[in-house]
């Protein structure tokens, strides 16, 4: 088969999957929401095979979550043997990671409901709005439980032991039992919590808009470390097993450990930091506007950052390692970078890609997602 035949076959499979998945959707009657066909989306977003080949990947499948007319992808999560897509009108779709067919889809709530994220809990997908947690059977899409949240939340859910943990715009942090919906603990910081926490096993690190940082036990809510920097962040923090890395709007990149309120190290910068840092194998990668992508030794040196190299003129987030090369996603371009010295090895323009993620940091599969709901899976080339 040629490439066009393969794509047409994928589109046909996607259509069949979408029809099957839509059987469990509410509001599919003639007067209900209008949905965008897979064929219409496929024609507007074909995989750029040569571009992905330059990055070391080949096309595996193209899938089509259910999308309402005018809907945009809000969340895309790789959760084991499925990928989960939620669009802006609250439609949740579960797609087989193996072949791209639709397992099921459902209208979770009112199209105007604000959601904060989705997470997998064994055989369930938990989809959380600001005020509710919806529990779906991951195989069938049946709604098996629904819990009201104790507070109006502002961060994606994190599971620690039997708790769902959230932060709020009022600076509250709390754990709520999955099974019965009771709040088990609470903690607070000054200001709003606007970014998702760092996850270091059962330890969570939250940052507020005023720059207050707390690292706490996610099972009990007990604070392990509390400190203050000059202001908050736009980007989510990164984490290793024993440190969190904070790219702050106060012109600094910080490393903190749960054992001390004093930074393990700090790197001052000329501009506010707006890109999410990435940790991997003893190095922290952070893009600095006006400078480029900078690699740091995660351990630092006597309280100071230890810079390893700089790749000037590029910004974005490191999302993986492909054949020993870092993969940087700029929001419009994929760039391969040598982790030894920061040299650019290759780059490829990726048009109309809204989300680019890997399912494993080292030589994982790559997923490219368009804003209007086309999911492309790419496998590493040998």
Domains and CATH numbers, the chain: 234-279+290-314 (2.40.10.480)
- Is residue 254 a contact partner of residue 263, using CB atoms and an 8 Å limit? yes
- Tell me what pLDDT residue 46 has: 83
CA 357 to chain centroid: 8
- Is residue 117 a contact partner of residue 102, using CB atoms and an 8 Å limit? no
Decide: helix, strand or coil at residue 7: helix
Q: Diameter of the chain by CA atoms?
A: 67
- Tell me what pLDDT residue 382 has: 82
- Tell me what pLDDT residue 328 has: 99
Per-residue pLDDT of the chain (382 residues; tens, 9 = 90+): 444 444 444 444 454 444 444 444 444 444 567 899 998 898 888 888 999 999 999 999 999 999 999 999 999 999 999 999 999 999 999 999 999 999 999 999 999 999 999 999 999 999 999 999 999 999 999 999 999 999 999 999 999 999 999 999 999 999 999 999 999 999 999 999 999 999 999 999 999 999 999 999 999 999 999 999 999 999 999 999 999 999 999 999 999 999 999 999 999 999 999 999 999 999 999 999 999 999 999 999 999 999 999 999 999 999 999 999 999 999 999 999 999 999 999 999 999 999 999 999 999 999 999 999 999 999 999 8
Q: What angle do CA 268, 273, 275 make, to 5 degrees?
A: 135
Complete DSSP assignment for 144-213: EEEEE-SS---S--EEETTEEEEE-TTSEEEEEETTT--EEEEEE-SS---SPPEEETTEEEEE-TTSEE
User: What pTM does this model have?
Assistant: 0.92
Tell whether the torsion through CA atoms of 155, 158, 163 and 164 is positive or negative. positive
- Of 117, 149, 96, 107, nearest to 375 by C-alpha is 96
- Tell me what pLDDT residue 47 has: 80
Q: What's the rounded Cα separation, in Å, for the pair 152 and 114?
A: 11
Q: How many CA atoms lie within 13 A of 236 on its CB side?
A: 14
Q: Two tokens at 57?
A: 């990947």
């Amino acid at each position: 088969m040629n490439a066009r035949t393969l794509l047409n076959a994928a589109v046909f499979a996607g259509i069949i999957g979408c029809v099957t998945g839509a059987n469990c959707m509410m509001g599919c009657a003639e007067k209900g929401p209008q949905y965008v066909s897979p064929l219409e989306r496929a024609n507007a977003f074909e995989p750029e095979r040569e571009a992905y080949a330059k990055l070391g990947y080949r096309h595996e499948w193209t899938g089509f979550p259910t999308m309402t007319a005018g809907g945009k992808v809000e969340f895309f999560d790789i959760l084991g043997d499925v990928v989960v897509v939620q669009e802006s009108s609250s439609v949740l779709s579960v797609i087989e990671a193996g072949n791209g067919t639709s397992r099921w889809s459902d209208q979770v709530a009112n199209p105007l409901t604000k959601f904060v994220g989705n997470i997998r809990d064994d055989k369930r997908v938990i989809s959380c709005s600001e005020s509710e947690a919806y529990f779906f059977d991951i195989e069938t899409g049946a709604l098996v439980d629904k819990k009201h949240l104790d507070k109006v939340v502002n961060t994606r859910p994190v599971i620690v032991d039997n708790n769902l943990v959230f932060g709020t715009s009022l600076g509250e942090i709390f754990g709520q039992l999955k099974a019965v919906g009771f709040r088990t603990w609470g903690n607070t910081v000054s200001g709003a919590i606007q970014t998702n926490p760092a996850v270091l096993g059962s330890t969570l690190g939250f940052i507020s808009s005023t720059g207050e940082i707390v690292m706490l036990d996610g099972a009990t809510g007990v604070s392990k470390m509390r400190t203050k920097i000059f202001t908050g962040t736009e980007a989510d923090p990164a984490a290793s097993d024993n440190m969190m890395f904070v790219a702050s709007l106060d012109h600094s990149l910080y490393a903190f450990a749960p054992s001390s309120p004093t930074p393990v190290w700090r790197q001052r910068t000329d501009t506010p930091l707006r890109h999410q840092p990435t940790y991997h194998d003893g190095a922290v990668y952070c893009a600095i506007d006006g400078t480029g992508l900078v690699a740091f030794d995660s351990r630092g040196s006597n309280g100071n950052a230890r810079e390893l190299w700089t790749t000037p003129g590029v910004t974005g987030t490191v999302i993986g390692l492909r054949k020993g090369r870092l993969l940087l996603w700029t929001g419009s371009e994929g760039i391969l970078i040598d982790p030894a010295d920061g040299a650019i090895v290759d780059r490829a323009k990726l048009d109309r890609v809204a989300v680019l993620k890997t399912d494993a940091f080292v030589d994982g599969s790559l997923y490219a997602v368009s804003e209007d709901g086309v999911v492309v899976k790419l496998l590493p080339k040998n």
